[in-house]
Amino acid sequence: MTSAVKRVRTVGDREATAVKLLDASLKHSFDPQVDVAWNEPWQEDTFFLPEELSTLYGTDLWQRMSRAHRIELSRCELANNLAFGIWVETLFVQMLARHALSWDPASNHLRYALTEIGDETRHSTMFSRTVEKLQRGPYRFNVADRFATDLLRAFSTEPLAFVAVLFVEEMFDALQRIGMRDETIQPLCRQTFRIHVVEEARHMRFARDELFRVIPTLSRAYREALAAAVAYGIGLVVRSTKTPEMYAEAGLDVAEAVRAARSNPHAHEVIQRSVDHFIPVYRELGLITPASRLIWRAQGLTV
Ligand SMILES: [Fe+2]
Ligand SMILES: [Fe+2]
């Protein structure tokens, strides 16, 4: 066992965590079918995402865009991000359901996993209704990334599934917290972000506690593989925010927009900040290794 593993914190047992999370689910759950004002029309002259979360915010291209054009881009970017959310949540549901098959059928641990699957199906239904209301998209995601997630779905192990779920949830959480507090954006968008942030806090606790139990029992080679998977996965999430068809529908020159987004220091800083927020836990878990740092660095991120 390496020194990185020895420092791992102690968490309660599986049943204790699951009981707490089932209780929290009972107290703080939403039904987006009734808790979101779907029939309210979109507000005029209002952003769909905080401006500073746009992939083009602060670029020369952004400076040349009118306010109306920026709002249109934020509408397309939200449709893109929510479609990505549906993709990854559906993937999580598949992985969780598959692994839960081998758990004790009478356990709180299993019942919480089923509760989480229920949360995710409500979230993806909420995202789908929002995308429909936005009347933008769908846009195709990177083919290689789709293939990578097909592999993940087919061959995931429990630790890999929890590692993948946790960092995507952490990244979305950091960005949606900004959105839910921004009073200048569409109220419907703020409400969906709020619902998601509240319910995802439990999912992150579930994955985090499980990883603190399981990672110390894994071999060094296994941990290295997980560390590489997280580093690669970050690249996948970042690429998903810059879908070329999204810029085309927003009426931009695709090549110019993709180039501007890729070299946008502000967008890069937004990602780095959300990474900074969750990386201490991954470091504590021993999932930031010298080898994985090279992958992080190749993607322009410091950990
Ligand atoms: Fe979710
Ligand atoms: Fe979740």
State the distance from the centre of ligand 2 to the C-alpha of 139, rounded, in angstroms: 23
d(CA 145, CA 79): 19
CA 165 – ligand 2 centroid, Å: 7
Q: Is the omega angle on the peptide bond into residue 138 within 30 degrees of 0, that is, cis?
A: yes
For residue 210, with 0-12 CB atoms within 10 Å meaning exposed, 13-18 middle and 19 or more buried, which class applies?
A: buried
| pLDDT, tens digit, 9 for 90 and up, residues 150-179 | 999 889 999 999 999 999 999 999 999 999
Three-state DSSP class for residue 273? helix
Cα(169) to centroid(ligand 2), Å? 6
Q: Enter the tokens of residue 8.
A: 């791992």
CA 175 to chain centre: 9
- Asked whether the beta carbons of 166 and 207 are under 8 A apart, the reply is yes
- Closest-lying ligand to the alpha carbon of 125? 1
CA of 206 to the centre of ligand 2 (A): 10
Cα–Cα distance for residue pair 223/149, rounded to 1 Å: 19
- Ligand with minimal distance to 203 CA: 2
Quick one: which of 197, 250, 189, 241 has its CA closest to 48?
A: 189
9-27+41-298 folds as Ribonucleotide Reductase, subunit A (1.10.620)
**Residue ranges of the chain with per-residue pLDDT less than 50:** 1-5
pLDDT digits (tens, 9 = 90+) for 175-229: 999 999 999 999 999 999 999 999 999 999 999 999 999 999 999 999 999 999 9
277 burial level (CB within 10 Å; 0-12, 13-18, 19+)? middle
* Structure token digits, residue 262: 């890729």
pLDDT at 2: 43
Q: Where are the domains of the chain?
A: 9-27+41-298
Token pair listed for 238? 């970042």
Q: Where are the alpha helices (DSSP H) in 263-303?
A: 265-284, 290-298
**CA 289 / ligand 1 centre spacing (Å):** 28
How far, in Å, from the CA of 203 to the mean position of ligand 2?
5
| Centroid of ligand 1 to alpha carbon of 150 (angstroms) | 19
What is the structure's pLDDT at 8? 62
